[in-house]
Amino acid sequence: MIEHSLQAMAAALANKEISSVELTQLYLERIARHNSQLNAYITVDPARSLAQADAADARLARGEGGPLTGIPIAHKDIFCASGWLTTCGSKMLSNFVSPYDAAVIARFHAAGAVMLGKTNMDEFAMGSSNETSFYGPVHNPWDDSRVPGGSSGGSAASVAARLAPAATGTDTGGSIRQPAALCNLTGMKPTYGVISRYGMIAFASSLDQAGPLGRSAADCAILLNAMAGFDERDSTSLDRPAEDFSREINATSTAKPLAGLKIGLPEEFFAGGCSPEVMQLVEAAIGEYRQLGAETVSIRLPSMGLSVAAYYVIAPAEASSNLARFDGVRYGYRAPDYQDLNDMYCKSRAQGFGDEVKRRILIGTYVLSHGYYDAYYLQAQRIRRLIANDFASAFQKCDVIIGPTSPSTAFQLGEKAADPVQMYLSDIYTIAVNLAGLPGISIPCGFAGGLPAGLQLIGDYFTEARLLNIAHRYQQANAWHLQRPGGFD
Count of residues in contact with ligand GLN, rule CB under 6 A: 13
Give the long-range contacts of residues 396-399, CB within 8 A, separation 24 or more: 397/262, 397/264, 397/297, 397/299, 398/262, 398/263, 398/264, 398/297, 398/299, 399/261, 399/262, 399/263, 399/264, 399/459, 399/460, 399/463, 399/466
Beta carbon of residue 186, minimum distance to ligand GLN (angstroms, whole number): 17
Q: Which is nearer to ligand GLN, 128 or 463 (CB)?
A: 128
Q: Which is nearer to ligand GLN, 278 or 435 (CB)?
A: 435
Q: Does 171 bind ligand GLN (CB under 6 A)?
A: yes
Beta carbon of residue 87, minimum distance to ligand GLN (angstroms, whole number): 15
Q: Does 167 bind ligand GLN (CB under 6 A)?
A: no
Q: Which of 427, 454, 474, 481 binds ligand GLN (CB under 6 A)?
A: 427
Q: Which of 72, 173, 437, 440 binds ligand GLN (CB under 6 A)?
A: 173
Q: Which is nearer to ligand GLN, 69 or 172 (CB)?
A: 172
Q: Draw the binding track, 198-237, toward ligand GLN (x: CB under 6 A; -: no contact).
A: -----x----------------------------------
Measured CA to CA, the distance from residue 169 to residue 162 in angstroms comes to: 16
Question: Any catalytic annotation for residue 76?
Answer: yes
Cα→Cα distances 287→167, 360, 403, 465, Å: 30, 41, 12, 23
Q: Which is nearer to ligand GLN, 199 or 264 (CB)?
A: 199
Peptide bond before 151: cis, by omega within 30 degrees of 0? yes
Question: Any catalytic annotation for residue 406?
Answer: no
- Contact positions with ligand GLN (CB under 6 A) in 71-130: 125-128
Q: Which is nearer to ligand GLN, 172 or 320 (CB)?
A: 172
Measured CA to CA, the distance from residue 43 to residue 471 in angstroms comes to: 32
Beta carbon of residue 331, minimum distance to ligand GLN (angstroms, whole number): 22
Beta carbon of residue 274, minimum distance to ligand GLN (angstroms, whole number): 17
Measured CA to CA, the distance from residue 361 to residue 382 in angstroms comes to: 22
- Contact positions with ligand GLN (CB under 6 A) in 260-319: 315
Q: Does 186 bind ligand GLN (CB under 6 A)?
A: no
Question: Any catalytic annotation for residue 16?
Answer: no
Q: Which is nearer to ligand GLN, 178 or 196 (CB)?
A: 178
The one catalytic residue in 128, 175, 307, 320 is 175
Beta carbon of residue 270, minimum distance to ligand GLN (angstroms, whole number): 22
* Interface residue list for ligand GLN (CB under 6 A): 125-128, 151, 171-175, 203, 315, 427
Active-site residue list: 76, 151, 175
